[in-house]
Chains A and B, each alone.
Chain A
Amino acid sequence: MNKLIAFRSKNGTISFLAEKRTLVVLLVLALLTIAFCVISIGMGSKYIDPVETLKTMLGQGTAQHVLVLETLRLPRVIVAVLVGAALGISGGIMQGIIRNPLASPDIMGITGGAALAAVAFITYLSGTISMKWLPVAAFTGAGCISILIYGLAWKKGVTSIRLVLIGIGIAAAVGSLTTLMIVFSPINAASQAYIWMTGSIYATTWSHVYALLPWVIVFIPLALIFSRTANIQELGDDIAKGLGSAVQRHRFVLLLISVALAGSAVAVAGTIGFIGLIAPHIARKLVGPAFGSFLPVAALTGSLILLISDTAARTAFLPLDIPAGVFTAGIGAPFFIYLLYRNRNS
């Protein structure tokens, strides 16, 4: 089963082995994601069947279908795919650095930082500055909090345990500050901020897609390039050092990639929890722990989970639109506990 295929460029600077199994899994997941995209676009208060959907996509649809599909639903589906991929990779990297299966951007306080900045923005600046700056605010928050966590965990280098403990402490503090802000804001700003926080890709437009796309295009390939240093990090600090890896510098770069992906995802979609936690687990189950193969799988798994959750969230209780974050937690948490139980001795 585990047949390997070698890729090597002519001068040998780029070379890697790919397992057949990984390629097959990637292909299947990609097809599934595309299929779900088509189905999901069709679903909603006005149902459009997949054949019609495909026709419209190819430029053969009625004007009404074009409006519903391309202006209203397509951006939302694309954002779901991008956010899911970003969160999946971000969580995968973080679990690799921390060497703990429970680590993820939401538990480490990074999404909390983004939420704090975004809520502050909604509460204090929403009247004066255009809402399109909200992603920038959220990303700045995530960045600042990560630097703070990293700085506080620094004591002649950063160990993964200090990183995660301080992350949890900061997450609690940031959470209480966010609540403080919501409590003191006027009621309409409060509920707006609250819906954003729960993680919803409600009312996404093409501008959201364009805001998120550059981050994903830059940082996901970067993550794949650096994935082999992550492989070495997983062996533990001493062995990694012995192998000649610049442990601290690589850890910093990996963390930066992870934060950038998580921050941009949160900026667009709010704090959607548990995808960064589960997607890497499922990916590892499917293709094993080597980063080069499991990161792309984690990205596709994340996309698929968020896509399904969002479709369920917006169609299950029509006309109510439940935040997708509630669904990801609902699916994610029981599954996560099951995974922990299965892997209890590994």
Chain B
Amino acid sequence: MIRIHQTSWKAVGLVLGLFLFVLSFIFSIALGVTPISFGTVVESFVHYDEASNEHVIIQTTRLPRAFIATAVGANLAVAGALMQALTRNPLASPSILGIHAGAIFFVVLGITFLSVTSLAHLTWFAFLGAGIAAVAVYYIGSIGRTGLTPIKIVLAGAAISALFGSFTQGMLVVNEAGLQDVLFWMAGSVSGRTTDMLLPVLPYMLCAGISAFALAHPLNILTSGEDVAKGLGQRTVFVKLAIAVTVVCLAGSSVAVAGSIGFIGLVVPHLARFLIGVDYRWIIPYSAVLGATLLLLADIVSRFPIQPEEIPIGVMTACIGTPFFIYMARKGLRNE
């Protein structure tokens, strides 16, 4: 059994995870269509030389890309962990439960019909869409006497995804200009973006991240059952609402920057739980680090198979995530 029990070892594991993350961050800067030596990477930070092609590539393309992959990966993984705890459903994640589809619908609406161009405004569209989808799925999934069963909420998520998906398609069919750009963004990608696109979203990401860490302890109590939590004096409605708002911020801001990158929010929390058990005070930081690392690695791999083009990273994560999802579904769910 590789599950770690002692606190000190958990901390060591986290440091190890951070080390892995830094390693993949560096590789993400160095590897690509133009391979760049590590010496040049360091040099571009110390003495930036505008005449050098490689320095320009690092500073304008690779570095923003690595930062975005880090932020989005960490965000989605933490959002997935929170959702799995809140819905008590191992298959919950922002993409499966329709939150991505909602955010995308509103962003495309903003771009095509209201001609919104500034990313700061589009982020708010993404939040709005993510919020509406989250409320709808939670509500549809929990109506009826049996309450919020895993199967019902997954189906509700699929239905809401299908709904927003077909509306988005409809808008794009009517408005063909820019179809290709919007499509590439929708498929989920961290490339071709500058740091300017990350900056307006970063404050929301940070706030939501901090709030996720703050919610870890109440979440531990909530997962022991709603009645128990109430008995221990927790205001469960308030905690649930806070979790929901955090999830919407995390997922909405990632969609605004990188489009729909699925399955990270599904796989990573399971990985974290497998490593360190059920304590959310550890699951959340582990998820953040592992999510960032996984997305960086997926991004590196996506650059190679069909050079000089790239596979949208959302397709890469789907390739990793689908087998895992099927494995989880075959293993069976509790309280089916």
Interface residues of A (CB under 8 A from B): 100, 102-103, 106-107, 152-153, 155, 161-162, 164-166, 168-173, 176-177, 179-180, 182-184, 187, 190-191, 194-195, 197-199, 273-274, 277, 320, 322-323, 325-326, 329-330, 333, 336-337, 340-341, 344-345
Least Cβ–Cβ distance between A179 and chain B, in angstroms: 4
- Ordered by A's residue number, 25 sampled pairs between the chains whose C-beta atoms are within 8 Å are A100-B152, A100-B155, A102-B155, A102-B158, A152-B326, A155-B330, A162-B332, A164-B155, A165-B91, A169-B322, A169-B325, A172-B262, A172-B318, A179-B186, A179-B312, A180-B187, A183-B183, A190-B180, A190-B183, A194-B172, A274-B163, A277-B159, A323-B170, A337-B140, A341-B143
A-B contact count (CB 8 A): 148
Q: Select one of A187, A273, A277, A345 contacting B180, CB under 8 A.
A: A187
Specify which chain B residues have a CB less than 8 angstroms from the CB of A107 in the assembled complex.
155, 158-159, 162
Partner of A273, one of B162, B315, B325: B162
Kindly report which residue of chain B lies nearest to residue A184, judged by CB atoms: B309
Indicate with 1 or 0, residue by residue over B161-188, a CB within 8 angstroms of chain A CB atoms: 0110011011011101001100110111
Q: Is B202 an interface residue (CB 8 A)?
A: no
Residues of A within 8 A of B50 (CB): none
Query: Is B82 part of the contact surface with A, judged by Cβ < 8 Å?
Result: no
Please tell me if the beta carbons of A177 and B315 are within 8 angstroms of each other in the complex. yes
Given A274-B163, A326-B166, 14 additional A-B pairs, CB 8 A:
A100-B151, A107-B162, A165-B333, A169-B326, A172-B325, A176-B315, A191-B176, A198-B166, A198-B169, A322-B173, A322-B174, A325-B170, A329-B162, A333-B163
| Known contacts A173-B322, A190-B179, A198-B169; A164/B262 CB under 8 A | no
Contacting residues, chain A, for B321 (C-beta < 8 A): 172-173
- Determine if B330 and A152 form an interchain contact, defined as CB atoms under 8 angstroms apart: yes
Contact A161 B151 (CB under 8 A): yes
Within B225-240, which residues are at the interface with A (CB < 8 Å)?
none
CA distance in complex: A179, B314 (Å): 10
C-alpha gap A341/B326 in the complex (Å): 30
- Chain A residues with Cβ below 8 Å from B158 are 102, 107, 168, 171
For residue B95, CB closer than 8 A to chain A, the reply is: yes
Q: Does B329 contact A (CB under 8 A)?
A: yes
Report Cα–Cα, A325/B129, bound state, in Å: 21
Closest Cβ–Cβ distance, residue A324 to chain B (whole Å) = 10
Bound CA–CA A218/B115 (angstroms): 50
Tell me the minimal C-beta distance from B143 to chain A in angstroms: 4
> Given A155-B330, A164-B151, A176-B318, is A102 in contact with B144 using a C-beta cutoff of 8 Å?
no
Separation of A168 and B156 alpha carbons in the complex (Å): 11
Complex Cα gap A194–B167 (Å) = 13
Is B154 a contact partner of A168 (Cβ separation < 8 A)?
Answer: yes
The answer on a CB contact under 8 Å between B169 and A182 is no
Question: B326 near A166 (CB under 8 angstroms)?
Answer: yes
CA distance A282 to B101 in the complex (A): 27
With a cutoff of 8 Å between Cβ atoms, the chain A residues found around residue B268 in the complex are none
